[in-house]
Chain A
Amino acid sequence: METVKVIIDRKELEVPKGTTILEAAKSIGIRIPTLCHMKLEDLNYENNPGSCRICVVEVEGRRNLAPACKTECTEGLVVKTYTSRVMNARRTVMELILSNHPFECLTCSKNGYCELQTIAHDLGIREVRYTGEQSVFPIDRSPSIVRNMNKCIMCRRCETMCNEIQTVGALTAVHRGFEAAVSTAFEKDMTGSTCSYCGQCVSICPVNALSGRNNQQEVLNALADPDKIVIVQTAPAVRAALGRDFGFEPGTLVTGKMVSALRYLGFDYVFDTDFAADLTIMEEGTELLHRLSDYLKGDKEVKIPLMTSCCPGWVSFVEQHYPDLSSHLSTAKSPQQMFGAIAKNYFAENLGVARDKIVVVSVMPCLAKKYEASRPEFAVDGNPDVDISIYTRELARLIRYANINFEELPDSDFDRPLGESTGAAIIFGTTGGVIEAACRTAYELYTGKRLEQIDIEELRGLEGIRSATIDFNGLPLKIGIAHGLGNARKLIEEVRNGTSPYHAIEIMACPGGCIGGGGQPFHKGNMKVLRKRASALYQADRDKTIRRSHENPYIIQLYKEYLGEPCGALSHKLLHTHYFDRKEIVGILDETKNEE
């Protein structure tokens, strides 16, 4: 490898050719502040427009200051990172950015997590000398995401995420000069855009220009209503991330404390979405086996590969961009919605109350779940199966709001019957987990044999697209996995072209799966956080005695008492859904494509 010698702040060092000043400085312990720059190595994400100009440094022989994030080291380069010229420039630029940013820190939900705040503090800004007109944009509230461009600093991370990583194409810069902002095509509301509500833009926004919709108050209202029975379900990925907002190490499992906190908050029943995940495996796994057996019999109409439908961001992506392929999606509802349907029917009947007396709250790592809960097909006479969906960060705020000292809470366990789950359900929270859980059950149902190697390592990892072949007793079941919608697009394009080699495909819209969901505590670009969350979930799986969904005693009981059999008549009514063609939303874009 070719190397070059450079001098940074009087320290001489040798770095590989092509290294940026920013990286070189980092290697010797100099942290040049950055705002627009973000690199997520595992996800192949790099936002590097060189536009915020906070990272400028002095390079000997150069007329103007150089952006450290965009300037490569060349032989003999002499760099100074904290001269008075540099510091004055950085401070002035920061003051400019602040001069067009609302001073609402105390009431902003990003307070304490805001990167702009941190850098302004590090630069010692105590006064903003440059003031003037501020941008005024209407606030756009979709069911999942709130877009407040008055807070935008034009780092364009969201644009890179939305267009290059997720290939959703909902966000782009519009207008120019001081009026420039990130918006949707034709500046429509997000509901009229191609947004799939994956929320990845929110997870990397350095400020609070993009945030999740806040439904905390609705939860508090429900809890305060004496006439309501308030049930909460918590998604698998939440327990591996919630602790981060209370100072725990990334990937610390806080399941027991979380359950205690939810009880303390006043929920009447603390249940687990994992129960519904086991149920999903029963339905989706059975559906897969049905489709497979038809397929193997030579049925040309049957839609193979079967694509998972747990992820609402993915489902709306298919409905908008690939409606012609929506029949490949499993008709099984997502765990959140299965839970809601069971809670408002089976459980309500068991309690002997009407469904509208029950309020189902879900705690999800996800912003798209809010949108999913609001879909009209998931309601009966206007009463939704899931009333309120909140995300991990909202739960953390609720816990603080209720004066709960989370760190000191004792552990407690979920309520029964809808709180019992298997190890297979827990790994739903990470990429590859759903399909691994499905394989554990489908294998045993198909072959009638015991699966010896229960940890199916071939399906694990953080690579964007993975594939594996599982031997189903002589039937080589081909499985494809993708996380991140850009990777998903590659797999579904193969389906459209007829070149997909797979029988089943698992897709998660968010990089890493639900552990990297848009509602999770901010990773701030630290990819170790995601890896630790994933290994925490696999550990929780190993710690469980029951690790196969079909062995969950309460699931067995549910079928026996109520549903009958997987994919039976009642299951179809309660646990399966149908999809819509939402291409008209993106219609205009496609016309322009045709013109080319």
Chain B
Amino acid sequence: MNAVKTTADLTRIRESLCTSSDLFDTNENSGQVEIKVSMATCGIAAGAREVNTYLSEIIEREQIKASIIRTGCMGYCYAEPTIEVKIPGEEPIVFGHVNKSKIDDIVFCYIRKGILPDDITWMKTGTAKEEDLSSKQLHIALRNCGHIDPESIDEYIKVDGYQALGKVVTEMSPDEAIKIIMDSGLRGRGGGGFPTGLKWQITRKSQADQKYVVCNADEGDPGAFMDRSILEGDPHSIIEAMTINGYCTGASKGLVYIRAEYPLAIERLKIAMQQAREYGLLGENIFGTDFSFDIEIRYGAGAFVCGEETALIHSMEGKRGEATVKPPFPSESGFKGYPTNVNNVETYANIPLIIRKGAEWFSRIGTAKSKGTKVFALAGKVNKVGLVEVPMGTTLREVIFDIGGGIKDGKKFKAVQTGGPSGGCLTEKHLDLPIDYDNLLAAGSMMGSGGMIVMDEDDCMVAMAQFYLDFSVEESCGKCSPCRIGNKRLHEILQKITSGNGEEEDLEKLRNLAGVIKDTALCGLGQTSPNPVLSTMDNFYDEYIAHVNDKLCPAHQCRRLTQYFIDPEKCTGCTLCARACSVDAIKGERKAPHVIDPTLCVRCGACIEKCKFDAVYVH
């Protein structure tokens, strides 16, 4: 049993771990190959378990001196399953789209002979390593994701885990530690951007016999998976940070509110909590001090609004997940009426490193008012969909084009939605905007929790606004009138417009209603839900006009506003399209040009896919 009673114990464990095994970084003679398999939910879904099993088999069969580590997400979502191979003395190499035959190639060509076969998707890693300034990325919150085995506390300790906690509880007063967080300039990564240190200080100053710290892991933005990845890849960092938070605010109880549809994150968090308890890093008298702290998990049922802190607290109390008017703020009166400090997963993930490296180090990164880095779940029409972490102040262009590899299929960039359904869309003219809280807000969007969805010329911005509003309508708790009914009406007007029935006065109604909802809704969800409408109206008003006045969808996305045609010049009369048409809308003799009957056509697009001569087009 590795019981940690003092910081010296922790150092001893760390040192024993570093000498007992895998010293391949320094001892080139060990000859041990290190293989990491990215086993977050996304990797597993893509087949990482099979990859892992096959790798174990082949390594045993071929008697290769190698260790396999199952890590969290490496960030290369577009290339899952991914594995990282490090041959002693070499830079680690990441292989993507791995399957059995590729594993054979990797083992026989690369590991055995050191040859990188051409036909394997691979990339040199090291790019995402901490403080590698040549890279656009900088991993602070994601520092351990994809590098360590999340189910092993020893691996976390080996990379200096729990050092920050030891330092705080044995060497610092709560006020000193809070000062570091305040000086670092860290702001809430859940979207609001409230200064984290200040929040801690308010909770600390609130007088009560019991206080709570809560980790908000109710990640609900469509397409966002930053928090899940951190919990799946580095759960101990969250436990460590929450415990530090407990010490600083005077709370002895921590609660992780996590959505039940994150089973892997929950499992890994539970394992981590158990290990931390066994090591004495959670529980009574942490590091031999009189500070005691433990964590419980509370499950959410997957409601977006429960990411709002008051709704989250009500849900944890067993009540309906609804927001209540602030003040009182949770820091003053939260869970069961006690002062409660709620921070998001990513916010917590930053804490141990800030404590270890100091406020000054952290505050050097980023912009004047937004310090550190931000993790984004980059998705949509980019080549390299994935999890990225960049310093604040990085431009959208760098994220989308340099890291994301530009727009898919060589299409033209049109817009990027940041902040999920609460955010707004930004356009070409915003591409060189340095990303930070205030710039995004000024541009009509928001940081949000870090969803970033890229759109190209084929995306209709009216339909996009409708899509996000659909989400907000679905996820509204229904408490306040503007959100409950207003968003529904906004959605109905958009639906009317995208189905070709829009009238000019609808545009005026849209703008008024969106403005009123923003002005009057009770919580953050409602106040921000019209943002997609307002920002698309600001940036793409011509598309609205086209839909309403000309009954045209410039992106050819709104099915009711498009018509399918066959170019008689190109049609060879092969009949493929007619046979593919499920509603028999295509007529024509063999070897003669075919014609689409617009009254029957349901605009499913099957004919376009079937046609080998590019004869079908949409207008």
Contacts and interface: CB of A to CB of B under 8 A. Distances in A.
Nearest to B319: A172
A178 B520 contact: no
B519 A154 contact: no
Interface in A24-79: 49-54, 56, 64-65, 67, 70, 72
A547 to B, nearest CB: 49
A65 B527 CA distance: 11
Nearest to A35: B481
A215 interface: no
Contact of A85 (B320, B492, B519): B519
A130 B522 CA distance: 20
Nearest to A592: B318
B477 A100 contact: no
Contacts of A65: 519-520
Contacts of A561: none
A154 B512 CA distance: 23
Given A85-B519, A133-B492, A178 B479 contact: no
B519 A89 contact: yes
Given A64-B527, A132-B488, A70 B481 contact: no
A311 interface: no
Contacts of B421: none
A56 B481 CA distance: 12
Contacts of B527: 64
Interface string B404-444: 00000000000000000000000000000000000000000
Contacts of A131: 489
Nearest to B327: A72
B166 to A, nearest CB: 36
Given A53-B481, A67-B325, A130-B509, A178 B516 contact: no
A178 B473 contact: yes
A65 B517 CA distance: 10
A147 B474 CA distance: 25
Interface in B466-504: 473-482, 484-489, 492
Nearest to A156: B479
Nearest to B505: A129
Interface string B503-528: 00000010011001011111000010
B392 interface: no
A65 B475 CA distance: 23
A586 B481 CA distance: 32
Contacts of A247: none
B528 to A, nearest CB: 11
Contacts, number: 109
Nearest to B477: A176
Given A49-B324, A89-B519, A132-B489, A175 B512 contact: no
A92 B520 CA distance: 10
B303 interface: yes
A65 B526 CA distance: 13
A177 interface: yes
A99 B489 contact: yes
Interface centre among A88, A93, A129, A177 (most CB of B within 10 A): A177
A282 B325 CA distance: 53
B520 A154 contact: no
Contacts of B473: 177-178
Contact of A50 (B474, B486, B522): B522
Contact of B320 (A51, A56, A173, A178): A173
A175 B519 contact: no
B531 to A, nearest CB: 13
Contact of A176 (B478, B482, B489, B521): B478
A130 B514 CA distance: 12
Interface in B288-344: 303, 305, 320, 322, 324-325, 327
Given A133-B492, A172-B320, A92 B480 contact: no
A223 interface: no
B476 A93 contact: no
Interface string A278-310: 000000000000000000000000000000000
A54 B482 CA distance: 10
Given A49-B324, A51-B522, A154-B484, A177 B477 contact: yes
B484 A178 contact: yes
Interface in A478-527: none
A390 interface: no
A137 to B, nearest CB: 13
Contacts of B519: 56, 64-65, 85, 89
A143 B354 CA distance: 65
Nearest to B305: A176
A65 to B, nearest CB: 5
Nearest to B496: A132
Given A53-B480, A64-B527, A132 B512 contact: no
A72 B328 CA distance: 11
A204 interface: no
Interface in B357-402: none
B520 A64 contact: yes
A386 interface: no
A467 B520 CA distance: 47
A70 B328 CA distance: 10
B477 A178 contact: no
A177 B477 CA distance: 5
A203 to B, nearest CB: 23
Contacts of A51: 479-481, 522
B325 A92 contact: no
Contacts of B518: 64
A411 B460 CA distance: 75
A96 interface: yes
Interface in B214-255: none
Given A172-B320, A180-B484, A130 B513 contact: yes
A85 B519 CA distance: 9
A50 B305 CA distance: 17
B218 to A, nearest CB: 15
Contacts of B476: 176-178, 180
A179 B478 contact: yes
Contact of A153 (B305, B320, B475, B481): B481
A67 B492 CA distance: 27
A359 to B, nearest CB: 45
B303 A176 contact: yes
A178 B303 CA distance: 15
A97 interface: yes
Interface string A403-420: 000000000000000000
A93 B481 CA distance: 7
Contact of B489 (A53, A54, A130, A172): A130
A377 to B, nearest CB: 38
Contacts of A175: 478
Given A64-B527, A88-B512, A180-B479, A96 B489 contact: yes
B142 to A, nearest CB: 33
B520 A89 contact: yes
Given A92-B513, A178-B485, A70 B475 contact: no
B481 A173 contact: no
Interface centre among B473, B513, B516 (most CB of A within 10 A): B516
B517 to A, nearest CB: 9
Nearest to A54: B481
A53 B485 CA distance: 12
Contacts of A72: 327
A176 B475 contact: yes
Contacts of B303: 176
A178 B472 CA distance: 11
Interface centre among A85, A92, A172, A175 (most CB of B within 10 A): A92
Contacts of B520: 53, 56, 64-65, 89, 93
* Interchain residue pairs A-B with the least CB separation, the first 6: A180-B478, A177-B476, A96-B485, A132-B492, A50-B325, A92-B516
Given A132-B488, A177-B474, A178-B488, 6 more contacts: A49-B479, A53-B522, A89-B516, A100-B488, A173-B320, A177-B476
11 contacts: A56-B520, A93-B520, A131-B489, A154-B481, A173-B320, A176-B305, A176-B475, A177-B487, A178-B485, A179-B478, A180-B477
